Chain A
């Protein structure tokens, strides 16, 4: 791998595919490239190239066991990050959040926090990934996170002092395995806090395990880092050694290890003092790789912080390169003053490491706010496509009838969005519900759980719209004549009912998805019956909507209320029979009882909505409908009335006698 002249550059090492190491390095670069792609959030591109990545990975695993080890290491590392985030999320709103907020509420406090925590942990990488986790879990702000990163860069220099001055090396990774074991035991505990601690410990364990595997995979490259081979004077030497410093730190996954390597090479006279400084600068840049890897599984906030880390360390490196001679002079001056021997390069390196990081922090400190703004632009918060009102508009304030009509239409818009949650939440397709298909058969055949993020649909399509309607109605009430207020109240109530129904479905969904696929035909039948009742109501509302206004019969919606009461298995004795006969378990029975409560609320809320929205415009006719509509007591009463015999039954009966 030794080459002469300019071809000795790092790229030459990487692209020298004839050698096994070069090939592995190429794979490593490719993998890193893909990671970077991920960080830049090119989700579209990623979707297209995903199969290609898989093929490349499979080929890579086939030809290189080292590559397999590295890739496995990255995966375990990311798994650890997910655990960490999950763990820290458990502490949101708790003591940890309060402590973190209090200790990082001012920038100088964040920097101090970074210095102290890195000095204690002796790993800036660990502090940076933990900070990414804090940020992703919403425990701290971005500016606080950047402050911690700045502090971590100063804190990490204490490592060089410990190594150089005391020969001491704190190896926190030695605790990885116990952390993993204790963590996993805690994860299985019921207490939320213990579970959280378990996730954090296991996350740290996986993190170190991942780093260990990455190191193992890169072990083959370690021997290729022959610093003497690249020794050269001048600016070119500086640039080459910075790149080697970056590469060595990425390979060894530790800037401390790189510093040890530099010190050894320097003591052996393999490299010059200037080369050593360049390597230290490179190591400082290379150490950001851990944060970049960590940001892969983090949200946009984590990515912002990883980018801030990279920007800071690169800027610090640039400053150090630009003022290298002044820094060398400074190191010599300080070394003389504190009594460091002329040839004690290890300690002088520690001085340099400290100076250039402190200078970096001092220079970057005033620009943190600007950096935050730039990062917010570069990594914007993923836009949630929230729906907007289609019909309500302030222009309608002067026209009461138009205003009422617009609120009515907007209620239907809200209902349409809610139906997505209601139908999909109960694993039914709207196209089937609104078609002419026999619903009973359709529901029996639809046994697949529909993948849907109900919370997200609720937040973007229902909650936002409901908020807009509420706001509009509150404003409209101030400007409308009193005659219209009642209708507006009714529509507001209808909207509330629709929103409540989506919430009921969210609670209902888990059992529906479980029992509609159950092997027990009795419980399956009950849940199918519940789905059928809702599907029929949704179809009826849709049909009513498509009718001419004069044909709409809102009173017919009471049929669904009675149907529920008649089919309520708690009231008609079926539930007792099922339990007594051992046909369903007590657990199933309690689920059924709870879900019948949800079903009842959905049916009453949606029928109320239908009555409010499809009510006739004729005030007297509307009042007549309201007078004849059945309330809870009426439904309860008629549900106990025996069926009257039809003419056919009577005839058949008399013929028999």
Chain B
């Protein structure tokens, strides 16, 4: 085994890169976003005003895109692990 690989395994074992914490933080953030998305969906069904609905739909798009990025980042962290 090369020295760099040994160091990498050691860092991973000791969680020197805080990967665990990062993953936890991402998971929490994703949960928050999911909650936000759900609340937006509920509100969207309640709204009648077109302007308000358009605004909320945009917000929904933003949350979805952010979640997508978060999931991708989490997957990458898992792969590294």
A→B interface (CB under 8 Å): 553, 555-556, 558-559, 562-563, 566, 618, 620-621, 623-625, 627-630, 634, 637-638, 641, 643-644, 646-648
Contacts and interface: CB of A to CB of B under 8 A. Distances in A.
A641 to B, nearest CB: 6
Of A618, A644, A646, the most chain B CB neighbours within 10 A belong to A646
Contacts of B11: none
B73 interface: yes
A556 B21 CA distance: 23
Given A563-B58, A647-B41, A621 B66 contact: no
B18 interface: yes
Nearest to A440: B51
B24 to A, nearest CB: 7
Interface residues of B, number: 30
Interface in B14-68: 18, 21-22, 24-26, 28-29, 32-33, 36, 41, 44-45, 53-55, 57-62, 64-67
Among the interface residues A553, A625, A628, A641, which one has the most CB atoms of the partner chain B within 10 A? A628
Given A555-B33, A563-B55, A624-B70, A630 B65 contact: yes
Contacts of A556: 59, 62
A627 B26 contact: yes
B26 A646 contact: no
Contacts of A644: 57, 60
Nearest to B57: A643
A553 B59 CA distance: 13
A643 B56 CA distance: 11
A648 B42 CA distance: 10
B13 to A, nearest CB: 19
A623 B24 CA distance: 11
Contacts of A621: 25, 28-29
A555 B33 CA distance: 9
A623 B53 CA distance: 31
6 contacts: A555-B33, A555-B62, A559-B59, A624-B73, A628-B67, A638-B64
Nearest to B69: A628
B62 A627 contact: no
A444 to B, nearest CB: 14
A648 B45 contact: yes
Contact of B22 (A566, A624, A647): A624
Given A563-B58, A646-B44, A620 B73 contact: no
Contacts of B58: 559, 562-563, 566
Contacts of B59: 556, 559
Contacts of A618: 25
B74 to A, nearest CB: 9
Contacts of A558: 62, 66
A625 B29 contact: yes
Given A620-B21, A623-B25, 19 more contacts: A553-B36, A556-B62, A562-B62, A620-B25, A621-B28, A621-B29, A624-B25, A624-B26, A624-B70, A627-B26, A628-B33, A628-B67, A628-B73, A629-B66, A630-B69, A643-B57, A644-B60, A646-B45, A647-B45
Contacts of B62: 555-556, 558-559, 562, 630, 638
A371 B60 CA distance: 72
A627 B70 contact: yes
B20 to A, nearest CB: 9
Most buried by A among B22, B59, B65, B70: B65
Contacts of B70: 624, 627-628
A644 B62 CA distance: 13
A623 B22 contact: yes
Contacts of A555: 33, 62, 66
Nearest to A561: B62
A566 B32 CA distance: 25
Contacts of B65: 630, 634, 637-638
Contacts of B26: 624, 627
Per CB-CB distance, the 9 closest pairs between chain A and chain B, nearest first, are A620-B25, A624-B25, A624-B29, A628-B66, A628-B70, A627-B73, A648-B45, A624-B26, A620-B21
A355 B51 CA distance: 86
Nearest to B45: A648
* Residue from the set A555, A556, A562, A647 with the largest chain B CB neighbour count within 10 Å: A555
Contacts of B33: 555, 628
A620 B55 CA distance: 30
Given A558-B66, A566-B58, A628-B69, A646 B41 contact: yes
Nearest to A639: B61
A647 B65 CA distance: 20
Contacts of B60: 644
A537 to B, nearest CB: 13
A563 B62 CA distance: 10
Most chain B beta carbons < 10 A, residue from A627, A637, A641:
A627
Nearest to B59: A559
A310 to B, nearest CB: 67
Contact of B61 (A620, A629, A641): A641
Contacts of A637: 65
A555 B65 CA distance: 11
Contacts of B22: 620, 623-624
B36 to A, nearest CB: 8
